[in-house]
Homo-oligomer: A and B are copies of this chain.
Amino acid sequence: MPAPEQVAENYSFDGVIRKFKATSTSLGGLETQFNVFVPKEALDGQKVPVLYYLAGLTCTEDTAPWKGGFLRDAAAEGIALVFPDTSPRGAGIEGEEKDWDFGTAAGFYLNATKDPWSKHYNMYDFLTSELPSLLSSLSLPLDLSRSSIFGHSMGGHGALTLYLKSLLASSPPTTYLSASAFAPIANPIKCQWGEKAFKGYLSGGVEEGKEYDATELIGQVKGKEVKILVDVGTGDIFYKQKQLLPENFIAARDAAGFSSKDVEVNLHEHYDHSYYFISTFAPAHIRFHAQILKNAAGKL
């Protein structure tokens, strides 16, 4: 596996954001890009924890660094941010570019099991195994043993499921200390976006999709220590269209006996699905993860 190649660099908030490209095994040999925000502490050689951000449908590795307002707080807290792409690109599969909610920019952070998608559409493996390896190969003092994950919409679904699956795995490929989400697709087996993705990517369809469904998974981690923060705007058109279904996630959380302190879900009047909403609650999400990641420093 060749090391990632740096293709861009911008200074920001006393740190630096670097864009890398790499040829990915998980993605069937396709090239993929990701951004890493390196805070000043890391430029000075200090080990820093890592927070992954998974973006939503139609986005790229640039959307959140440009529009999320995350770098300022990550810099203040001294944590690194990693922004991968939302899907493989250029697999050349028929129909890949046809829909905005399936194919390119809509990888759903799963491992496809259905042909012809299964060769390339394996963002789950890429994120949980390959990306941490790629990050390790960079000359950066990233403390990957202290990692957390967050995301938006499809990426909120991804963040919650990657986190919950890592709690369930006997030998997790990557362990995350916490997860948070902006307007996540919280119960994808019950909404149109999720059904379309699971039927398209998974040979077992929506039934197989249950293993990537946060509302299904939250019940399975019953009794474990769980640290989740979710924010949703009730002015969100996709909330109104029942693509997000946070109520189902709350009900499953309650049924599993988690408190709203362990799994906090906040509904905000007026706010919508845009990065105007995300940037508003960005400081609180960074603070949430930073507290957990920094507390972990003494324990590990």
Contact = CB atoms under 8 A, between A and B. Distances in A.
Interface of A: 10-14, 16-17, 65-67, 69, 71-72, 233, 235, 270-272, 274-277, 279-280, 283
Can you list the 7 inter-chain pairs with the closest CB atoms, starting with the nearest? A12-B276, A10-B276, A11-B270, A11-B271, A66-B67, A13-B280, A12-B280
A65 to B, nearest CB: 8
Contacts of A274: 10
Copies of this chain in the oligomer: 2
Given A11-B233, A11-B276, 20 more contacts: A10-B272, A11-B270, A11-B271, A11-B272, A12-B276, A12-B277, A12-B279, A12-B280, A13-B279, A13-B280, A16-B270, A17-B276, A65-B276, A66-B66, A66-B67, A67-B67, A69-B69, A69-B279, A71-B279, A72-B283
Contacts of A279: 12-13, 69, 71-72
B275 A11 contact: no
A36 to B, nearest CB: 13
Q: Which of A14, A17, A276, A277 has the most CB atoms of chain B within a 10 A radius of its CB?
A: A276
A153 to B, nearest CB: 15
A243 to B, nearest CB: 18
Contacts of A12: 271, 276-277, 279-280
A67 to B, nearest CB: 5
A163 to B, nearest CB: 27
13 contacts: A11-B235, A11-B270, A11-B271, A11-B277, A12-B276, A12-B279, A16-B270, A65-B276, A66-B66, A66-B67, A69-B72, A71-B279, A72-B283
A46 to B, nearest CB: 19
Contacts of A277: 10-12
Nearest to A16: B270
A297 to B, nearest CB: 26
